[in-house]
Each structure stands twice: as C-alpha cells, then as structure tokens.
Amino acid sequence: MATEPQVRTAREPGGSRPAPTLLVVLLGMFTLPMAMSGTTVALPRIGAALDASGAALQWVVVGYFLAASSCMLVAGSLGDLYGRRRILTAGAALYTAGTLASAGAQHILLLDAARILSGLGAAGVMASGGSLLAATFTGPARTRVFASLGTTAGLGLALGPTFSGWLVDALGWRATFLSYAVVGAVILTGTRLLGESRAEVRPRVDRAGAATFIAGLALALFAVTQGSKAGWTSPWTLLPATAAAALLIAFVRVEQGLARSGRGRPILDLRLARNPAFAGWAVGSLALGAGTTGVLTFLPTYLQGVNGTTARAAGLTLLLMTAPVLALPPLGARLVNRGVRARHLLLLSLLLIAAGNAWLTTLHPGIPVPALAGPLLTIGAGQGLSIGIIDAQAMSLVAPSEVGMASGFLNTIRGATGALTLTVFGALLLTAELTRAWHTTLWAVAALMTTMALTTHLLLSRPAVGRRSARRNGWAQPPAQSTTEATSTTTP
C-alpha cells in the first residue's frame, strides 16, 4: 500500500526501556479495571448522595464504557502514527482530570460528564499500553508480559470492589475517585521514563474514518441504552440507531477507499477481518467480556439490595470471582509456552464461563456466601486462564507498525462489549421480579457463551493458507521489526 513520504521517528534517549515501560503500563492496567469494578460497588451510595437513580445513575458506569470503547481504536491508530507514549501520556492526563472532577461532582449529570472524560483518557491508556508492550517485547517474552498484564488486570478487578467497598464505608464514595486520581497522576509522571515507539512511516491521518467511527459507535451504544429505558421502537432509540448505521456504513466505505487509493493509512485496516485467526481471537475477547461483565457489575447491587449486605461485604464476596483472574494468567502463559495450543485454552475458558453462569442460577434472596463460591470461582477461572494470552496471540498476527491499531481494535471490542452487556443485562433485570430475571439472564448468557465458544474454536481451527494467498489478503505473518520500532526480547 502506497503511503506519503516517510517521516522517520526519533527514538527517545534510552531506547525501548522495557522495565519502566512494563511497570507504567501494568500500573495503568491495574487502575482502570479497579476503577470500573470498584465504582459499581459505590453506585448505591452515589445515588443516595446525589438523589439519582435509573439511567442517570447507571451512566456513571455506562458513560465511562461508552467513551472508552468509542475512542480506543482511534487512540491505538494515532499511537502508531504520532507515538504510543505520547497518546499514553495524553490519556493519563485526561483520566486523572476526569477522576478528580468525579470526586468533586455535586450533581449526577456533572458526575456522568466527568466519567465520560475519564473514559476518553482510559481509551488512550489502554490502547497505547498494549501496543507499547507489543512493540517492546517479542516471542515467549511477549507471552509472559501479556500474562502479567492479565494478572495485573485481575488484581485490579479483585481489589476494586473490596478496596472501594472499604473506602465507601469508611470515608465515602468521593474518596474512591480521589484514590484513583492519585494513581492516575503517578502514571502520568511515569510516562516521562518511557522511550517512544511509533511506525516507521507517518501517512496522512484518516480524519474522516476517525470521525465516522467515533460518532457511529457512540450513537450505536447510546441507542442501546435508550432502547432499554424508552423502548426499542421509540424515536429516541430509532433516530440514533439509524444515524449510527449510516455513519458506520460510511466508515467502512471510507476505509475501503483509503486502502485502495494508498493516500494514507486507514484507522482500521479491514483486511484484519479476513484473517480467521485474528477474528477468532477477537471473538474470544468479546466472549470473555460478555460472560463476566454482567455478574461483576450487578451482583454487588443485588447482594446489597436483596440480602442487605454492606458494600464491603459485597466487595469481599466478589473476590471469589476475581481472585482466579489474579492467579491463573501466569499458568495460561506457561502452558502456551510449553506447547499447549492457545485455542484449546480459550475454548476451555469460554465453556467454564458458560458453566459458571448456568450454576449461578441457584441465586436467591438470602443465599449464603459459600453457595456462591462454586459458580463465581468457575467464572473467574474461565476468565483467568485466557485473559493474558488473547492479546499476545492476536498481536503476533500483525506487522509491528500496526500493533496500535490491533490493540485499539481489541480494546474497542472489550469496551463496546462491556457497555452493551451493562445495558442489556440491566434492562433484562428490570423486566420481571428481580431473582427470576437474574435466572433468565444467566441462562441466556450461558447459551451465548456456548455458542461463542464453538464459533471461536471453528475460526481458530481453520487451516493455514499458502504464503502467497496470505500476502495477497494482507495478513501474512508480520515481517521483522523495523529498526525504528522500540523492540526488545528482554525477559520480564
């Protein structure tokens, strides 16, 4: 594909700097899941303090997901072009500012706006963080690093409800946002220690693609949230849905035209979708989020509202689900590095998540914590086994100059899945008596996970094509990294 004249990158002093890069990215990946899972525990107190309920209160979580998922693909691609460290720095600054504003918000709409700003920053941190690691580590070291990433995200998920529950009970919900803002400031400071990494060439920025994708995805997610409260045939649902469809169709056409003309690099190279292996890992990433986000988000509210538990106790209960996400990613990476097929681990993970959701249909008012242990541990084990290997496997299928795009795409899938799961799960729980609605929703999730497990397995089982056909379709094994890419095979 033709590009505009090359603009060589300038390395920062210190080269790739693998150790500080790993530490700063891991800190970001620790904080963002922690802020997500911890905020769900604080929702009842936030609603009481700001006299908020319903959609306005749920947007404290949904708005964060919507903003992050809409912008991660663009953030990842811009990192490839302008520098992944630069985008990471900008994201950390926005995240910190939004979280500080959240701590001081005096009205639910101001809090929602601040959380959206935090989500925009989170998009830069998550997309650039994964691409920086992919550009810095290769081979088995990359697998181990992404396993560490999964472990750290698991630690954030595990500690988020417990830490936030403790702070909410002891100091109030505003203290949780202040604590996340402090960590955001540490990440922002730490970016000064990192070396820069970007593509060897800088083609024209795909402004039309970025604008149509962000607007289209945001409107699509907004339409889903509107449908859950205003009705799926309401004009407030149909109008944004129609606009979203038109914008996303325009996005596809813009990307196809740009790829044909060679006058710049698309925000999303649509040839990735023709790679069965990359598509398989993307579907697996979607399934992990769809199978776990609903329980992680809404179970604390059920336990507090129906069982009368405290925020701290609800957070401790969720450790049953999140602790395996902390412990198992290194095991998954070790098995892959010793020859176990990664796609077999992913299949096992999705089937475990399906089984855990089905098992959780034993949920009832007054259910004791030991009765929740089996299903929550099963869901957590399914997520933990594969959360650290999906990105490493997918990143190995793209050229080094496009790891930001790939990372942004995978994180977009996760964010959009989170937003959709929160909306649909929440809407289903409002359709009937609460416990009965939980049972129906959990059975639906179990069936969906089984279907997605089979789909993923079929995609990843497709036989490899010849090298000539792979090159023609644009998804051959990536070439050796350019010397301008910040690369290291350092073992973490």
d(Cα 46, Cα 48) in Å, to the nearest integer?
5
d(Cα 52, Cα 54) in Å, to the nearest integer?
7
pLDDT tens, the chain, 492 aa long: 333 333 333 333 334 578 788 888 888 888 877 776 678 778 888 988 898 887 788 788 778 877 887 788 888 888 877 788 899 999 999 999 999 999 999 999 999 999 999 989 988 888 888 788 877 887 777 777 877 776 777 666 666 667 777 777 788 889 889 988 998 999 999 988 887 877 666 666 677 888 888 888 888 877 877 776 677 788 888 898 899 999 989 988 888 888 777 776 777 777 777 788 888 998 998 898 889 888 887 888 788 888 888 877 887 888 888 788 777 888 887 888 888 898 999 999 999 999 999 999 999 998 999 999 999 999 999 988 888 788 778 877 877 767 777 777 787 777 777 767 777 777 777 666 888 889 999 999 999 999 999 999 999 987 544 333 444 444 434 433 333 333 333 333
- For tokens 């988000």, the residue is 297
What tens digit of pLDDT does each residue of 429-458 get?
A: 766 688 888 999 999 999 999 999 999 999
pTM of the model: 0.69
If one counts every other C-beta atom within 10 angstroms of the C-beta of residue 207, the result is 11
- Phi, psi angle pair for 2, to nearest 5°: -70, 150
d(Cα 39, Cα 165) in Å, to the nearest integer?
9
d(Cα 400, Cα 404) in Å, to the nearest integer?
9
What tens digit of pLDDT does each residue of 59-101 get?
A: 887 788 778 877 888 888 888 777 888 999 999 999 999 999 9
